[in-house]
Amino acid sequence: MQACVERAKQRDETAARELMQQLYPLVLKLVRGHLPRRTGEEDLCQMIFIKIFQNLEQYSGKVPVEHWVSRIAINTCLNQLQSEKVRPELRWADLSEEEATVLQNLSEKSDAPSIAEAIASREVVDKLLGELQPQDRLVINLMHIEGYSLQEISQITGWNTTLVKVRAFRARQRLKNVFNQLMAEGKL
């Protein structure tokens, strides 16, 4: 990969194509996890790769290429999210029937969720995260959904571990408030 980067720096098109093929799954995964609502997945990936190639000269090789690319991808997603207006407050009525059922069943002890329940849960989480600021959304997603460790999040985002901890704690508190309001509404 490193050799490929060096060749791409010399404007080698074949190396650039090779680099794109190797890095596309990683970029796509990050984009899918943090996709802004009004931007297409492909458009955002394209934007990220253009940034990667434009800044290739600045890549010093001190960190793995994947980490450097992850930072560019995440920052691009965050910038895109920040440019979007805040979504109106999430109400119980905004949930589909399946999503409402998932929330109503949360207090019950159950086994592993079915695929349909998992998909509905993911949609509820996406709606809840939509109420948070982009950085809060990012840290919750990486930590609780993707299951990354503090160190991994630190490497991906470039934030130090203390900052990750603080942001994760505050983001969870904010998410809890939104969740609490939604659940209270559902009990009415």
Partner 1 sequence: MSDLDSQLDKLFKAASRAPRETSCELPYGFETRVLAAWAASPAEEISLLAFFQRALLACLAVMALTLAYSYGNWNNTVSSNPLYAMTDSAVDSAVDISLP
The residue ranges that bind partner 1 (CB under 8 A) are: 13, 16-17, 20-21, 24-25, 28, 32, 42, 45-46, 49-50, 53-54, 102-103, 106-107, 112-113, 115, 117-119, 121-122, 124-125, 144-147, 172, 175-176, 179-180, 183
Dihedral angle over CA of 86, 88, 93, 97, nearest 10: -10
Q: Which is nearer to partner 1, 37 or 160 (CB)?
A: 37
To partner 1, the closest distance from the beta carbon of 45 in angstroms equals 7
Q: At what angle do helices 65-83 and 13-33 cross, to 10 degrees?
A: 50
User: 3-state DSSP call for residue 31?
Assistant: helix
Q: Which is nearer to partner 1, 85 or 187 (CB)?
A: 187
Q: Which is nearer to partner 1, 116 or 160 (CB)?
A: 116
Of the candidates 124, 125, 136, the one whose C-alpha atom is nearest the C-alpha of residue 173 is 136
To partner 1, the closest distance from the beta carbon of 69 in angstroms equals 13
Cα of first residue to Cα of last residue in the chain, in angstroms, is 56
